[in-house]
Amino acid sequence: MCPRTKIQFEVMREVRRSRILEAAIECFANSGYHSVTISELAVHAGISKGLLYNYFTSKEELLKAILQEILKLMMQLFDPDQTGDLERKDLVHYLETLVTHLKSNLIQWKMYMAIFSQPAVQLILAEEIKAYSGPPLGMVEAYFRNKGCLRPDVEMAFLSTLISGVIFEYISDPENYPLDQIKDRIIQMY
Amino acid sequence: MCPRTKIQFEVMREVRRSRILEAAIECFANSGYHSVTISELAVHAGISKGLLYNYFTSKEELLKAILQEILKLMMQLFDPDQTGDLERKDLVHYLETLVTHLKSNLIQWKMYMAIFSQPAVQLILAEEIKAYSGPPLGMVEAYFRNKGCLRPDVEMAFLSTLISGVIFEYISDPENYPLDQIKDRIIQMY
Amino acid sequence: MCPRTKIQFEVMREVRRSRILEAAIECFANSGYHSVTISELAVHAGISKGLLYNYFTSKEELLKAILQEILKLMMQLFDPDQTGDLERKDLVHYLETLVTHLKSNLIQWKMYMAIFSQPAVQLILAEEIKAYSGPPLGMVEAYFRNKGCLRPDVEMAFLSTLISGVIFEYISDPENYPLDQIKDRIIQMY
Amino acid sequence: MCPRTKIQFEVMREVRRSRILEAAIECFANSGYHSVTISELAVHAGISKGLLYNYFTSKEELLKAILQEILKLMMQLFDPDQTGDLERKDLVHYLETLVTHLKSNLIQWKMYMAIFSQPAVQLILAEEIKAYSGPPLGMVEAYFRNKGCLRPDVEMAFLSTLISGVIFEYISDPENYPLDQIKDRIIQMY
DNA sequence: TATGAATGAGGCTTCATTCAT
DNA sequence: AATGAATGAAGCCTCATTCAT
């Protein structure tokens, strides 16, 4: 009736939407995209199946929304506001941040791996991924070039390898993987 | 005119079984387990749907058979006949072998990653994986201990991290990943 | 416009469930459990295949539900609220009721016979049957004992034999079997 | 080559055929027609699937052959060579024979009930049954007419009822049913 | 907005039957 | 005659999606 109602509605919608996303991330991460049914998602989010379709037009759209959400969160780790050149402390900071993030957002990272290693999904999101990951990688390469590396591109790939490996191993067995020690071991190298 | 002998039947079965496995690996690697239908598998293997069930009692059993096959192949990389202690040259040899294997068996490794990062699958195969990977890891840790490392367990985890990373990155983008250079970079470290 | 209330949903479900059961009884009685397909059942009940599974988790569960329903109905014939001893008039009453019930519920009885003579089904429902039929039989035996029969157990078995025979013969050929005359013939004996 | 070979073949075929029939009766009686697969039948009969089709053109033909076999055996109980009128001793004899037969051919009778109570099967065999059962029933009715019964047809139906009941009850629970006592109880009545 | 009953395409699986050897 | 691999129609069941209320 009154304008406030409209705003309230929008806030409610946003809250609801977030709750659905959150529930879906958890379900997908635990059981995989295909194994989770819309019914389960609805129950988990505390709403009805029909209402879910009021927020996402299909299961696949829901997946896309999640992946973009996650991508966004991840890319923030790269300190996109950085203006000047990358320095050693930035790398250290990045690693620290990554480790912290991994620990506190395990489910999202699990989901990230579970989803992105699916060939079908990779096709769907190939462009988004490139769009996001492009610029920062260039900065890293520049960093190694400035440092006088003979093969800055290889050095960058090596760093990517390390990071992928850390994520993969930690996610595979969070209880036993010595995340902090490995982080220190890496920092030591640079 | 005469009926086939038992041996003839056995040979036929073995050949057929292998062909089915091969076709299934390719399909699963390309599209993921859930996205591939039995019909597609049958077409790809050049047989009827029904025949597939003459060789594997269910789609899940087929998956298990594949994964065990792959696990076996992979574990052979670890030189399981090794009797004495691990030496530097063994590590080098292992990395060389891994790289060669990655290049020539890309599909299997894709499948390995695509499948194993699915939470549901991990549960199914958790025991098999541990059974296979347990012993070699112990030898690697011993190697680092003998070398005088302060934290041989961390060093072993670090090596695992590197290897996981290499596999992950190469599989994600085989065209552009500098596999050989990264391998040399790793050998250099030890 | 307003969503249905919980009670409305419950009523809907109950009505639908009954209709499905009714349709299934008819189909199973006419063609036998195995010969009836889910598709046929759905068409007969005027619903989609999928909906059937919203009410019964499997074809076998549907069968169980039917059989329990029928068992319940049948056991009510035995006047389970009977508190005192059985008397002659109770037997007469039982026979009269049985005959009436047979005539008006022919399909259910056909189903009963068609289903219960299937070995596989007998195994499924063995316990339920015993649980239901136990107590009343005891009362019949007591009746014959009180009447001074030398072998009340045999007399009870004889009565059971007669009843089974009546049901069997009537179901086999309802048009020509002289149900009422046979009933009178039996009453005459006691 | 020589004529003896041909005869031997025929004998072999007949033996084989009997073995298949026997195996099929057992399987069908235990699990029901639909639940038994051709594969199981073949294994049970000690031959291959393919060979089975050398003896019976389809599963349904096999069923028909069994049912006719059983019908033939049963009808022999009615002393079909009887030329003169039925007498009391014939009835007694019939009951005695029936009881003996029930005891020693339990499986066949189980099969008989399991199969004949299936509506679909009844349609298939309706004519055969009538062709077989017609004449003897007439003789029984004549017997009761000669005995001065007011309603010989009802009396005949009553006897049929008793017999059906005996068969049904004995088959349902051969361990506990007092077959001999019931038989005596019936003889007593006439 | 919110519910869950209802749909139906499509998946997995079974099994009677055929056929090459 | 004898085998069992091979076929494919048909069955059971799931689940993303729609829709009446």
Q: pLDDT value at position B155?
A: 94
Q: pLDDT value at position D15?
A: 94
Buried b (16+ CB within 10 A) or exposed e, B38-72: beebbebbebeeeebeebbeebeebbbbbbeebbe
- B167/B106 Cα distance (integer angstroms): 10
C43 touches strand F (CB under 7 A): no
Residue D85: φ, ψ to 5°: -80, 155
**Which residue, D32, B5, D155, is CA-closest to C63?**
D32
Residue with tokens 């695992």: B160
Q: Whose CA is nearest the C1' atom of nucleotide E18?
A: D50
- A116/B114 Cα distance (integer angstroms): 9
Chain C residues within an 8 Å CB radius of D169: 157, 160-161, 164
| Cα–Cα separations (whole angstroms), residue A100 to A94, A167, B153 | 10, 12, 22
Q: Which nt sits closest to D57, CA to C1'?
A: E17
- C85/C104 Cα distance (integer angstroms): 29
Neighbours of D5 (CB within 10 A): 9
Neighbours of A34 (CB within 10 A): 16
pLDDT greater than 70 at residue B182:
yes
User: Across the interface, do D161 and C165 touch by the CB < 8 Å criterion?
Assistant: yes
Range with lowest mean pLDDT among A106-120, B57-71, C145-159, D5-19 = A106-120
Measured between CA atoms, the residue of chain D closest to residue C165 is D165
Neighbours of C92 (CB within 10 A): 14
- C155/C142 Cα distance (integer angstroms): 11
pLDDT greater than 70 at residue B126:
no
Q: pLDDT value at position D172?
A: 86
| Cα–Cα separations (whole angstroms), residue B169 to A67, A68, B174, B178 | 19, 21, 8, 10
Asked whether the beta carbons of B163 and B183 are under 8 A apart, the reply is: no
User: Across the interface, do D153 and C185 touch by the CB < 8 Å criterion?
Assistant: no
Q: pLDDT value at position A115?
A: 73
Chain D residues within an 8 Å CB radius of C169: 157, 160-161, 164
Q: pLDDT value at position C88?
A: 85
Measured between CA atoms, the residue of chain D closest to residue C116 is D114
User: Across the interface, do C114 and D117 touch by the CB < 8 Å criterion?
Assistant: yes
pLDDT greater than 60 at residue D158:
yes
pLDDT greater than 70 at residue D170:
yes
pLDDT greater than 70 at residue D112:
yes
Q: Which band of pLDDT confidence, cut at 50, 70 and 90, is reported for residue B170?
A: very high
User: Across the interface, do D32 and C120 touch by the CB < 8 Å criterion?
Assistant: yes
A and B touch with 3+ CB pairs <8 Å, answer: yes
- B97/B76 Cα distance (integer angstroms): 10
Q: pLDDT value at position C116?
A: 72
**Chain F: bases < 7 Å from a protein Cβ:** 1-21
Chain D residues within an 8 Å CB radius of C166: 161, 165
Q: Quick: pLDDT tens for C47-81.
A: 999 999 999 999 999 999 998 888 887 777 765 55
User: Across the interface, do B169 and A185 touch by the CB < 8 Å criterion?
Assistant: no
Mean pLDDT within C135-148: 83
- C114/C111 Cα distance (integer angstroms): 5
| Residues in B lying within 8 Å of A, measured between beta carbons | 29-32, 34-35, 110, 113-114, 117-120, 151, 153-155, 157-158, 160-166, 168-169, 177-178, 181-182, 185
- Distance from the Cα of C125 to chain D's closest Cα (Å) equals 13
Counted residue by residue, chain A has a size of 190
Neighbours of D152 (CB within 10 A): 17
- A12/D118 Cα distance (integer angstroms): 60
Q: Which nt sits closest to C13, CA to C1'?
A: E5
Amino acid at the residue C104: S
User: Across the interface, do B30 and A114 touch by the CB < 8 Å criterion?
Assistant: no
The burial of C165, by beta-carbon neighbours within 10 Å (0-12 exposed, 13-18 middle, 19 or more buried), is given as buried
Q: pLDDT value at position B49?
A: 97
Mean pLDDT within C153-157: 93
Supply the DSSP symbol for C84: S
Q: pLDDT value at position D132?
A: 62
The pTM of this model reads 0.85
- D42/A161 Cα distance (integer angstroms): 59
Q: Which band of pLDDT confidence, cut at 50, 70 and 90, is reported for residue D73?
A: confident
Range with lowest mean pLDDT among A15-24, B97-106, C119-128, D158-167 = C119-128
Residue D82: φ, ψ to 5°: -45, 130
Neighbours of A111 (CB within 10 A): 26
Asked whether the beta carbons of A33 and A118 are under 8 A apart, the reply is: yes
- Distance from the Cα of A107 to chain B's closest Cα (Å) equals 11
- Distance from the Cα of A60 to chain B's closest Cα (Å) equals 13
Q: Quick: pLDDT tens for C162-189.
A: 999 999 999 988 999 999 999 999 999 9
Asked whether the beta carbons of A181 and B154 are under 8 A apart, the reply is: yes
Asked whether the beta carbons of B99 and B91 are under 8 A apart, the reply is: no
- D182/D173 Cα distance (integer angstroms): 14
Mean pLDDT within C3-25: 94
First vs last C-alpha separation in chain D: 62
Mean pLDDT within B156-177: 93
- Distance from the Cα of D18 to chain C's closest Cα (Å) equals 23
Mean pLDDT within D150-176: 93
Supply the DSSP symbol for C151: -
Q: Is C120 left (phi over 0), alpha (psi -120 to 50) or beta?
A: alpha
Q: pLDDT value at position C47?
A: 97
Chain A residues within an 8 Å CB radius of B169: 157, 160-161, 164
**Chain E: bases < 7 Å from a protein Cβ:** 1-21
D48 touches strand F (CB under 7 A): yes
pLDDT greater than 70 at residue B123:
no
Mean pLDDT of chain C: 87
Q: Which band of pLDDT confidence, cut at 50, 70 and 90, is reported for residue D82?
A: low
CA trace torsion A41, A44, A50, A55 (10° rounding):
-80
Q: Which band of pLDDT confidence, cut at 50, 70 and 90, is reported for residue C95?
A: very high
pLDDT greater than 70 at residue C122:
no
Measured between CA atoms, the residue of chain D closest to residue C158 is D182
Q: Which nt sits closest to D54, CA to C1'?
A: F1
| Residues in D lying within 8 Å of C, measured between beta carbons | 29-35, 110, 113-114, 117-121, 151, 153-155, 157-158, 160-166, 168-169, 177-178, 181-182, 185
- B37/B16 Cα distance (integer angstroms): 19
pLDDT greater than 80 at residue D167:
yes
Neighbours of C177 (CB within 10 A): 19
* Residue numbers in chain A where pLDDT is lower than 70: 1-4, 78-84, 119-136
Mean pLDDT within D115-144: 69
Q: pLDDT value at position D128?
A: 63
User: Across the interface, do C153 and D182 touch by the CB < 8 Å criterion?
Assistant: no
Residue from the list D120, D165, D178 with its beta carbon closest to the beta carbon of C168: D165
Percent of chain B with pLDDT over 70: 86
The alpha helices in chain C, defined as continuous H runs, are 6-31, 38-45, 49-55, 59-76, 88-104, 106-116, 119-146, 152-172, 179-189
| Cα–Cα separations (whole angstroms), residue B108 to A34, A185, B145, D55 | 22, 31, 33, 48
Q: Which nt sits closest to C51, CA to C1'?
A: E6
For the record, the structure tokens of A31 come out as: 């059981």
Neighbours of D47 (CB within 10 A): 17
- Distance from the Cα of B95 to chain A's closest Cα (Å) equals 15
Residue from the list A29, A160, A162 with its beta carbon closest to the beta carbon of B119: A29
More confidently predicted of B177 and A138: B177
For the record, the structure tokens of D114 come out as: 């399991």
- B174/C61 Cα distance (integer angstroms): 52
Range with lowest mean pLDDT among C184-188, D88-92, D177-181 = D88-92
D47 touches strand F (CB under 7 A): yes
User: Across the interface, do A162 and B161 touch by the CB < 8 Å criterion?
Assistant: yes
Residue D83: φ, ψ to 5°: -105, -50
Q: How far is the CA of D26 from the C1' of F9 (A)?
A: 29
- A74/A63 Cα distance (integer angstroms): 16
Residue with tokens 């004449």: D135
Q: How far is the CA of B34 from the C1' of F16 (A)?
A: 15
**Dihedral sign, Cα of residue A97, residue A101, residue A104, residue A106:** negative
More confidently predicted of C190 and A177: A177
For the record, the structure tokens of B5 come out as: 């002998």
User: Across the interface, do C157 and D163 touch by the CB < 8 Å criterion?
Assistant: no
Residue from the list C155, C157, C169 with its beta carbon closest to the beta carbon of D164: C169
Give the number of beta-carbon pairs within 8 Å between C and D: 98
| Cα–Cα separations (whole angstroms), residue B126 to A16, B59, B133 | 36, 19, 11
- B50/B45 Cα distance (integer angstroms): 12
- C186/B177 Cα distance (integer angstroms): 93
Asked whether the beta carbons of B182 and A161 are under 8 A apart, the reply is: yes
Residue from the list D34, D35, D161 with its beta carbon closest to the beta carbon of C169: D161
User: Across the interface, do A32 and B31 touch by the CB < 8 Å criterion?
Assistant: no
